[in-house]
Amino acid sequence: MKKKLRKLLDTENPGLATEYPCTMFDLRLNGNGCEAGIGQPRRSMGNHQRNYLFIMGGYAYSFIVSKQIPRPGAQLCCVKPSGEMTILVRDAKQLFRPWAVAFHKAGQI
C-alpha cells in the first residue's frame, strides 16, 4: 500500500476513485467562508477505512487510505484522473464543535 501511494504522490497522479480518494469540502459558517480556519490534522476510522482530515484556507480535505473500496459518495466527489472534481459545501459547525468543546474544557474560551 505504501509503495503504491508513494508512486501516486511522486507522479502527481490522483489515481482511480476506488484507490485513495480525496474529497474536498468548502466550509461555511452562517453562510460565510472560513478562510482563516486551520485545524490540526486528524485521523479517524469509519466503515473500516482510515481517513485523514486536514482543514486549511476554508476547505476540508478528506483522504481515505484503505484497502477497502471507498463508499460511492467518496468516489463521486474525489479528484478524477482528468483533474476534475466536485467540491461539496459543508456547515463548518460540525467540524469546529469538537475543538470548541475541547478549548472550553481547557478553560481557553
Residue in this structure with the C-alpha cell 484497502, named with its chain if needed: 67
d(CA 6, CA 10): 6
d(CA 100, CA 109): 8
What letter represents residue 49's amino acid? Q
pTM of the model: 0.69
Per-residue pLDDT of the chain (109 residues; tens, 9 = 90+): 778 888 888 998 877 888 888 888 888 888 788 787 777 888 888 778 888 888 888 888 888 888 788 888 788 888 887 888 888 888 877 777 776 677 678 776 6
Would you kindly state where each structural domain of the chain is located, as residue ranges?
A: 2-105
d(CA 74, CA 20): 10
- Output the DSSP codes for 51-83: EEEEEETTEEEEEEE-SSPPPHHHHHTB--TTS
